[in-house]
Structure 1
Amino acid sequence: MRGTASTERPGHASSGKRSQRMRGILALLSADDGVVSIAEFTDRLGVSAPTVRRDLADLEDLGLLLRTHGGARSNDQRAEIPVRFRDMQFREAKRRIAVKVAEMIPAGPYAIALSGGTTTGAVARELAGRPQLTIVTNSLTTATEIASRPNLQVIMTGGLVRSSSFEAVGVLAENTFGAINVGTAVLGTDGISALGGATTHDEREARTNLAMVSHAQRVIVVTDGSKVGRVTLARMAELGQIHDLVTDSSADPLELERLAAADIAVHVVEHDHP
């Protein structure tokens, strides 16, 4: 089994287990003041020291941490987990969220905007069979996945591509969103709360997404329950700009009540318990 792990190439998390381990390493660095020893990694993650060293080497090659003598340290304690390692997380809950969102999108000729993220990517896959649908997105992964569908019209923004999320951000992306009007914007988020609205880790991403929601008749925020009640660096949408929140049943019920009290329609799907 360990021989299989040793053949994995840097930057290619080829299994759900390895992807989960990579997320665990980055989460430990974020939680423990940015410095963690090999011994602590092995104890907290339940894997061998050689496995941890291989993972640390791969993550360093990706620029996500710096190895030290006997461990590793974060090179940016505020950095979010890259999208390639988030894809396996809460997969079934995200699929159920996507099914619910698809039910909320009108049939017939219609235009929607999708931000980046794994949950919005699930929404794109759920909508991929719809006829007469126009999808505007700044997500390279989403555009690549659905652009070959002849029934869809896919519009990709320009902009600077963020390496952690594969989203185009900045003035070019903002101008694209600012030049069009869509019926619904589906917004992924790193946090949503009654205190901070919808937020993300990167201020450029926040400005780009704000341009998207400002030109939509309806804004639906999609997120797994772990991000409900969380506030991150930059606001993408005020509470008054959000019409619907679709999340799962692991979300904090008190925070959902506070969001509902702010006139946001809250839709909850069942969480996929381990």
Structure 2
Amino acid sequence: MTRTERWQRLLDLLVERDGLEVEPAAEALGVSAATIRRDLDQLAEQQLLVRTRGGAVPHGVSYELPLRYRTSRRAAEKRRISEAVAALITPGEVVGLTGGTTTTEVARALAARPDLAGGSPALTVVTNALNIAGELVIRPQFKIVLTGGVARPQSYELTGPLAQQTLGRLTVDTAVVGVDAFDPADGAATRHEDEAAVNALLCERARRVVVAADSTKLGVRAFARICPTTTVHTLVTDTALPAPLAAAFEGAGVGVLRV
């Protein structure tokens, strides 16, 4: 296990248990207590947790892992979801991509499509995610439109009035939205209100809204709503989505694609 993988697992355990003690963490990861103490000290220096006597607790009231530590969660499911979402896109479209691990995989899946590998821009991609723009800007088949705004280090997303002003002047064919939660009754949501405001405007400017989310994010709620369920045209998720929950989304008018 590499240090990055070990840190990822430690942060996952921290969220799951709402706190960590050194000895149980060392046993769970199969390493020495000294290694865990050193890891916790280094993570505390990055303000990813707060050290306590004998362990650590989450940093702050609302805990959110930075994107770089969330990329390996449910990777196989996200890869299938991203490929299915990319297959929904027609050459020539204007595609909006919010930030997040799943939408980043969608961007990579679009880049891998051979029918989009031609010369002049095959797609126009509008995004507020710095990492997505950075990956796609070197590919001549994409025209990249990056919103302005204030960067959030947890998600690499640009938020605030500048991002909203840009999106308010654009029209998008398909908005692909990453979420922290999507519930048939409460709609799509995220943990951060500034991200929700930008994502909501992207949905308003789109002719079609696609939510790309693995099944662990479905049937649950989050702090800041992006849009009501009726705004979403298609939900692309994995096969672990329970049939009753899929039926509830379909009853609300959402097309459900399980891959």
TM-score, normalised relative to structure 2: 0.91
Which of 133, 136, 152 is the matching residue for 1:143? 133
Alignment map for 1:66-105 (pairs within 5 Å): 66-105=50-89
Say whether residues 1:113 and 2:96 are aligned partners. yes
Say whether residues 1:197 and 2:187 are aligned partners. yes
Q: Give the secondary-structure state (helix, strand or coil) at the position aligned to 1:179.
A: coil
The aligned residue for residue 223 of structure 2 is 233
- Counting matched residue pairs gives 252
Residues of 2 paired with 1:248 and 1:240: CA distance?
21
Say whether residues 1:157 and 2:147 are aligned partners. yes
Identity %: 38
The aligned residue for residue 259 of structure 1 is 249
Pair 254,78 (structure 1): closer, same or farther in 2 beyond 3 Å: farther
The aligned residue for residue 272 of structure 1 is none
Deviations 1:144-202 (A, max 9, x none): 01101111100111111111111111111111111100100000011111132111110
The aligned residue for residue 29 of structure 1 is 14
Q: How much is the aligned-residue C-alpha RMSD, in angstroms?
A: 1.7
Extract unaligned runs of 5+ from structure 2. Answer: none
AA paired with 1:99?
E
Q: Give the secondary-structure state (helix, strand or coil) at the position aligned to 2:155.
A: coil
Q: Give the secondary-structure state (helix, strand or coil) at the position aligned to 1:125.
A: helix
Say whether residues 1:42 and 2:26 are aligned partners. yes
AA paired with 1:116?
G
Deviations 1:182-236 (A, max 9, x none): 1000000111111321111101100010011010000000011111112111111
Q: Is the 8 A contact 1:94 1:119 kept in 2?
A: yes
Shift of 1:31: 4.0
The aligned residue for residue 205 of structure 2 is 215
Q: Give the secondary-structure state (helix, strand or coil) at the position aligned to 1:250.
A: coil
Residues of 1 paired with 2:76 and 2:107: CA distance?
15
Query: Is 238-247 or 94-103 further displaced after alignment?
Result: 94-103
TM-score, normalised relative to structure 1: 0.86
AA paired with 2:62?
R
Residues of 2 paired with 1:62 and 1:195: CA distance?
38
The aligned residue for residue 63 of structure 1 is 47
Pair 90,144 (structure 1): closer, same or farther in 2 beyond 3 Å: same
Residues of 2 paired with 1:236 and 1:44: CA distance?
37
Shift of 1:118: 1.1
Q: Give the secondary-structure state (helix, strand or coil) at the position aligned to 2:10.
A: helix
The aligned residue for residue 166 of structure 2 is 176
Q: Is the 8 A contact 1:79 1:201 kept in 2?
A: no
Deviations 1:211-266 (A, max 9, x none): 11010000000011111112111111110110000000122332222111101000
Residues of 1 paired with 2:213 and 2:51: CA distance?
32
Q: Give the secondary-structure state (helix, strand or coil) at the position aligned to 1:267.
A: strand
Residues of 2 paired with 1:223 and 1:92: CA distance?
12
Q: Is the 8 A contact 1:23 1:81 kept in 2?
A: no
Residues of 1 paired with 2:191 and 2:7: CA distance?
19
Deviations 1:92-151 (A, max 9, x none): 2212111111221112x2101000011111111111252520000011110101101111
Extract unaligned runs of 5+ from structure 1. Answer: 270-274
AA paired with 1:113?
G
AA paired with 1:189?
V
AA paired with 1:75?
H
